[in-house]
Every structure is written in structure tokens, then in C-alpha cells.
Amino acid sequence: MKTISGLRKVLVAGSAVFSLSALLLIAAPALFESLLDLDSTPALDWSMRMIGITLVALAGNMFSVSLRGSDASVRFSGRVMQVSAFALGVLTLLIPTQLAWFSVTYALVGFGFSLAYTMAFLRKN
């Protein structure tokens, strides 16, 4: 089925992107914050690391579903990620600081993944 095959590929790609983000958030939260033009504080560093750990779990689940999930679970995960990726793009653009090149790029990545999920859903079986 083309739809399921496409969704599995997008889930794997999304898992890779989230894994890279998670590593950066955990290892160097202040760098991530500076790329977003946010002032680094111990509290924000802690929050970024918490988000990073959550992304590890999400990336692992996305990868697992893409490899071993039933068609129904792949469709469900694809819908969740389609909406979540779009919301991530919107939320990134609403950052409480001036938009920097990284913020815009990160938002475009979110919108791009949402579009990729949408295109996979539109492919005929």
C-alpha cells in the first residue's frame, strides 16, 4: 500500500530529525536557545533538556511504529504527527522573541513534515 509505505518513510525521517534535536537539547540547551534568540537561564536549560528527553521517547516510538506497527497504528501515528508537525511550525513562529533564521528554518521543517504526511495520506493505495 502506497499510503502506508509513504507514512512509514516519513515517520523514519521524522524520527531522525527529532533524534538530532533531542541530542542538541540534552547536550547543549544553551546553544539551541541562542539559535532561537532566547536568553539562556538555568530554568530554560532544564526545560529544554526535559523536552529533549521527551523527544527521545517520541523518536523511538515513531521509529518503532514505522518498522513494526500495524497499518492502522501507522495511519494513527501519521495523523497525530501530521497535526503535531504543523502545530510545531506555528508554535515556533510564535516564539516570544524576534524571529531568527533558525526559528524560521525550524518552523519550515515542521510545516514540511506536516506536508509530507499529508502527501502520503493523499497517495492512492
Q: What is the pLDDT of residues 12-33, one digit of tens each?
A: 999 999 999 999 999 999 999 9
pLDDT digits (tens, 9 = 90+) for 34-62: 999 999 999 999 999 999 999 999 999 99
Residue 125 pLDDT > 90: no
Q: How confident is the model at residue 124 (pLDDT cuts 50, 70, 90)?
A: confident
Q: Which residue has the cell 533538556?
A: 49
**Residue 76: what pLDDT?**
97
Higher pLDDT, 32 or 125: 32
Alpha helices, H only, 36-70: 42-68
Average pLDDT, the chain: 96
Structural contact between residues 45 and 30, judged by C-beta atoms closer than 8 angstroms? yes
Q: Would you say residue 117 has pLDDT above 70?
A: yes
| 124 within 8 A of 2, measured Cβ to Cβ | yes
How far apart CA 115 and CA 36 sit, in angstroms, is 23
Helices first, then strands: H and E counts in the chain: 5, 0
